[in-house]
Amino acid sequence: MTSASVTPSPRKTELLEAAYRYILDHGIADMSLRPLAQAIGSSTRVLLFLFGTKDGLVRALLARAREDELAGILHLDVGGGLGEAVEVLWAWLSTPEHAPVLRLWVESYGRSLLDAEGPWSGFARESVTDWLRILERAQPGVGAEADAQRTLALAVLRGALLDLAATSDRDRLDRAVAAAAARFRADQVA
């Protein structure tokens, strides 16, 4: 393995960041290299040289999106039980400034389910694993019941996120997530 493959060149990093900003605005599923390259001040030839293939660029962009999402939520204090974690995570997820990365997550998650062999391969599964790990910080219990509770919390958050993306009805979803969080707290006390 060469040092160039371990540490990306400054130009590769610069173009990846520019491409990431582009897909936050334009989406990734139907991304075409020529318009992307033109928008970010590069050429398809340079992008292919740096990322190998369009699929290689898509994989790099998905990794970048995952890094952005995790950087945003890993610093959150979710250690007070699942009820508190659901509320804290929902507050972060539903903030309008995070909408572009979360739209990209929805698009990539769905594409991962449809394109198991392409560059999206494994994205949905890895996302579930990431989120369950975060929820485990809130409720570190072991066993089937603890796992079921974390899975339910993830389902509430993911469902509310999808609904928010579809309807923008934040008030209704805030109430629903608060009701779910209250139930998690009641289960924790019981």
pLDDT tens across 155-186, in order? 999 999 999 999 999 999 999 999 999 999 98
Read off the pLDDT of residues 53-87 as tens digits, 9 standing for 90 and up.
999 999 999 999 888 888 878 777 777 889 999 99
User: Mean pLDDT over residues 117-138, rounded?
Assistant: 90
- Domain spans of the chain? 3-189
Q: What region does 13 belong to: left with phi over 0, alpha with psi -120 to 50, or beta?
A: alpha
User: What pTM value is reported for the model?
Assistant: 0.83
CATH topology of domain 3-189: Tetracycline Repressor; domain 2 (1.10.357)
Over residues 115-125, the mean pLDDT reads: 88
Closest by CA to 187, choosing from 76, 86, 90, 77, is 86
Mean pLDDT of the 118-142 span: 89
Average the pLDDT over each of 6-10, 83-87, 102-106, 128-132 and give the range with the smallest value.
Answer: 6-10
| Residue 139's pLDDT band (cuts 50, 70, 90) | confident
Give the C-alpha separation, 120 to 160, whole Å.
23
pLDDT in tens, 13-30: 999 999 999 999 998 888
Residue 77 confidence (pLDDT): 79
Contact 169, 163 (CB under 8 A): yes
Structure token digits, residue 100 = 């572009």
Whole-number Å distance between alpha carbons of 114 and 108:
10
pLDDT at res. 4: 46
Residue 189's pLDDT is: 52
102, 93 in Cβ contact below 8 A?
yes
Contact present, 106 and 165 (Cβ < 8 Å): yes
**Share above pLDDT 90 across residues of the chain, in percent, rounded to a whole number:** 64
Q: Is the pLDDT of residue 39 over 70?
A: yes
Lowest mean pLDDT among 34-38, 117-121, 177-181: 117-121
